[in-house]
Amino acid sequence: MIDFVWPWLLTLLPLPLLVYYFAPKKQQSAKTAMRVPFLADFTPYQNTSAKAMRSRLDTLLAALAWALLVLAIARPQWLGEPLEQSMSGRDLMLAVDLSASMQEQDFILNKEAVDRLTAIKSIATNFIERRVGDRVGLILFGSQAYLQAPLTFDRKTVVTLLNESAIGLAGDNTAIGEAIGLAVKRLRNESTNSRVLILLTDGANTAGEVSPLKAAELAASNHLKIYTIGIGADEMLVGGFFGYRKVNPSADLDEKMLLKIAESTGGYYYRAKNLNELNNIYMRLDELEPVEKEKQYFRPRRELYAYSLSIALLLAGVLCWRHAR
């Protein structure tokens, strides 16, 4: 259907008629009566019927142009069908580790060894897309923490920014406390029912001026729940001069610290040793922080004023051209 943003402006439609009938008429003097502005008006071959037809056509064009102009300033819009939209009132921030250790290729994706960040991207993408109704944000951290995407309902943009991230982009070390502190700063003033931070890392806190546990205390005081996920396999084969040997690629992972961070804020700590475990963790998070079922509706709007305005300007141009001949 068509709707108008300012329908009261349509009352301007009869304005030219009001001006014509009620404006004082200009009195012609004898001097002006003697003026001959157009010699053709006094030629014996003047076609009065053609002149009257021309005048009526000009009046019709002017009236149509005025009507279309008033229609344009009333700002017509086309309202589409009502669309259903979930609104959860939850703010969910994702903090992803980009330190140098994330390049360890101890995950298997499509039967190929991939680094830890690639594994996170493959699973987190589906998780973000499922968060209908949540405002989702993205923090990337290494030696420093950066807000890559502020809280937004535009999940597609968040996924794009996550997939464009690269190892080492924020430095080679791991500033877990800085990432939590940044999340608290971005979420503390939001008037929402639930604030959630999902922090993914494969190491220990090796950078930053903020202690992770102190940052967790600050998060708890601001009602920010933190789910921590430790990334990395606990065993892999490494080739050497004397053959293959088993190593623990996650020896630097500080699980005790991640567990304390989660428990102090009312969240949970998870360990993801492979892609299946990581996917199961995200499925569990969907259960712990379910998407709100209540629905709200909105109608998409498309502006139409440009069409009537363009035609009005075209008619005005035609009138100017006719009088200039």
Same-domain status, 204 and 264 = yes
Question: In which domain, by residue range, is 44 found?
Answer: 2-25+35-80+299-324
Does 9 map to a domain?
Answer: yes
Residue 253 lies in a domain: yes
User: How many other CB atoms are there within 10 angstroms of residue 105's CB atom?
Assistant: 15
Asked if residue 44 and residue 159 are part of one domain, the reply reads no
Per-residue pLDDT of the chain (325 residues; tens, 9 = 90+): 788 888 888 888 888 888 777 777 665 554 555 455 554 554 554 556 767 777 788 788 888 888 888 888 888 888 777 765 555 567 899 999 999 989 888 888 888 888 989 999 998 998 998 887 788 999 999 999 999 999 998 999 999 999 999 999 898 899 999 999 999 999 887 766 678 999 999 888 988 888 999 999 999 999 999 999 998 887 665 555 555 656 666 778 899 999 999 999 999 999 988 888 888 888 888 887 775 555 556 677 788 888 888 888 888 888 888 777 6
Residue 65 included in any domain: yes
* pLDDT at position 81: 74
Instruction: Tell me: do 6 and 96 sit in the same domain.
Output: no
Say what the alpha-carbon torsion angle 235, 236, 240, 245 is, to the nearest 10 degrees.
Answer: 50
- 227 and 303 in a common domain: no
Same domain, 159 and 195: yes
Strand pairing category for 107-109 and 76-79: unpaired
Task: Please state the φ and ψ torsions of residue 100, each to the nearest 5 degrees.
Answer: -60, -30
Q: Are residues 102 and 118 in the same domain?
A: yes
User: Are 68 and 118 found together in one domain?
Assistant: no
Q: Residues in the chain, how many?
A: 325
DSSP symbols for 246-309: EE-TTTT--HHHHHHHHHHTT--EEEE-SHHHHHHHHHHHHHHSPPP--EEEE--EEE-HHHHH
Q: What CATH code is carried by the domain that includes residue 286?
A: 3.40.50.410
Residue 70 DSSP one-character state: H
In a shared domain, residues 64 and 211: no
Would you state the pLDDT for residue 24?
75
Give the number of domains in the chain.
Answer: 2
In a domain, 176, yes or no: yes
Position 230 in a domain = yes
- Dump the DSSP string for 77-145: EEE---EEEE---EEEEEEEE-SGGGG---EEETTEEE-HHHHHHHHHHHHHHH-TT-EEEEEEESSSE
303 lies in the same domain as 289: no
Residue 30 within a domain = no
Q: Which of 258, 140, 249, 168 is nearest to 205 (CA)?
A: 258
CA dist., res. 252 & res. 211, Å (int): 17
Contact 121, 107 (CB under 8 A): no
Q: 232-262: string of b/e by CB count within 10 Å (b at 16+)? A: bbeebeeeeeeeeeeeebbeebbeebbbbbb
Same domain, 123 and 210: yes
Give me the pLDDT at residue 74, please.
87
Q: Are residues 45 and 135 in the same domain?
A: no
Domain assignment present for 180: yes
pLDDT of residue 45: 46
The Cα-based distances of 104 to 79, 173, 215, 277 in angstroms read 52, 14, 27, 17
Backbone phi, psi, residue 254, to 5°: -95, 85
Closest C-alpha to 120, from 129, 136, 135, 107: 107
Same domain, 131 and 171: yes
